[in-house]
Every structure is written in C-alpha cells, then in structure tokens.
C-alpha cells in the first residue's frame, strides 16, 4: 500500500497557521516584544518553523510507513495538551480540579507522543517506521498546541487577565501591560512545546528502535546457543 501524503499536508498546513497566528498576535499586541527576553521569540519561531518545514517537505516528496500513525497520535496528543492548557487558563477551575486536569491530560499527552513510535514499529515491523511515526507525533502535536494556545489566549485576554496568579506574575515580569505579558507568555510556552513535543515523539521512537535492535541481536544469537 502506498504511504499516505496527508500527514505531510497536515503538518505544512499547520505551519502556515503557526506563522499566521504569530503575526496576528504580535500585530494585536506589539508591546509583547517589549517584555524582557521576548525579542528572541520571533527568530526562535522562524527557526523552528523552518526545521519543521524541512521535515514536512521531505515527507511530502517521499512519504513513508509510520507517517499516518504518527500524525494520528500527534493529533490525539495535541488535543490532550489543549485540554491541559485550557484547564489551567480560561476554564478557571478550582485549584484541586486544575491540578487534577493538568496532571491527567499532560500525562495522556506524553503517553500518546511516546507511544507512536512503538505502535508503528509493531505495525510495520521496521525501525524506520518508528522514527517517522515518532517524528510526526511530536511535530503535529507541537503545531496543534501552538495554534490552539496562541488563538485561545488572543480570544480570552480579558478573562485570563482577571486571574490572580497572572496578575502576580505580571507584577514581577516588567511587562508593559497584561495583554502584552499574556501574549509573550503564551508565545514562549508554545514555542517551547515545539521543542518538547518533538523530543517526546523521538524519545518514543528511540525506545522502539532500541527494542528492535535488542530483539534482532537475540534472534541472531539463538541458533548458535542451541
């Protein structure tokens, strides 16, 4: 069966949305770049988008087994992260509920990210499929989190600004305004997710590859042992 190209299209479309929503956020709140350290955010996003795009274009030209599994798990992991982010922000849950939702859904997101590689290895019987699946799981979930997180923040600035914890953070941040602080904060957080989610996906792929290598060594040694 010919490997699907939709995972590459999904990733590249998501990257276009990342660029668009970053530009929208900075146009809406240009003071966000006046927050200490925020000046590095645009180039950081640009570098990460470029790296993601290299993977997306390569996969579009040469799709492979594992891409679809990875993209599917990436969408699921991204959805879990989105629930965690919403629960810790505009949902305004009680503190115990916020902690419970955050822990539950962040663990679920990590689980989906790490599981993509091993599942692809079991399905396709090749370490290359595990690596591709892990890569797509991390990259797709990172893009989902970025687009959702920044979009959610822009739509709920007033609600988020009324939270006592954000008001305390604003007082320590030297940001010029609450909206500027919130935009800078979510851009930094979602930019970090572009890295963290990729590492999680590749970590799962690495585990699958090591297991495959160990199994191969054991299989080759077995006849001589007999």
The pTM (predicted TM-score) of the whole model is 0.91
| Residues 116-144 pLDDT 10s | 999 998 888 888 999 999 999 999 999 99
In Å, how far are 41, 88, 128, 141, 208 from 190, measured between CA atoms? 10, 14, 28, 11, 27
Per-residue pLDDT for 220 more than 70? no
Q: Are 205 and 131 in contact (CB under 8 A)?
A: yes
- Per-residue confidence band for 149, with pLDDT thresholds at 50, 70 and 90: very high
Query: Per-residue DSSP letters for 139-207?
Result: HHHHHHHHHHHHHHHHHTHHHHHT-HHHHHHHHHHT-SSHHHHHHHHHHHHHHHHHHHHHHHHHHHHHH
For the chain, the domains span 12-214
- Per-residue confidence band for 219, with pLDDT thresholds at 50, 70 and 90: very low
């Amino acid at each position: 069966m010919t490997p699907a190209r939709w995972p590459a299209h999904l990733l590249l479309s998501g990257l276009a949305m990342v660029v668009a929503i970053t530009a929208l956020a900075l146009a809406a709140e240009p003071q966000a770049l006046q927050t200490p350290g925020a000046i590095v955010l645009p180039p950081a996003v640009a570098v990460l988008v470029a790296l993601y795009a290299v993977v997306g274009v390569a996969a579009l030209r040469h799709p492979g087994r594992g891409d679809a599994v990875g993209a599917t798990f990436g969408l699921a992991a991204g959805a879990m992260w989105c629930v965690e982010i919403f629960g810790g922000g505009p949902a305004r849950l009680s503190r115990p509920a916020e902690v419970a939702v955050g822990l539950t859904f962040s663990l679920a997101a990590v689980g989906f990210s790490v599981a993509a590689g091993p599942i692809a290895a079991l399905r396709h019987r090749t370490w290359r499929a595990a690596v591709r699946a892990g890569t797509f799981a991390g990259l797709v979930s990172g893009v989902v989190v970025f687009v959702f997180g920044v979009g959610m923040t822009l739509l709920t600035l007033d609600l988020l600004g009324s939270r006592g914890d954000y008001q305390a953070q604003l007082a320590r941040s030297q940001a010029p305004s609450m909206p500027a602080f919130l935009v800078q904060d979510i851009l930094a957080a979602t930019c970090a997710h572009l890295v963290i989610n990729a590492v999680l996906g590749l970590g799962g792929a690495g585990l699958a590859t090591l297991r495959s290598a160990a199994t191969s060594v054991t299989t080759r040694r077995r006849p001589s042992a007999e």
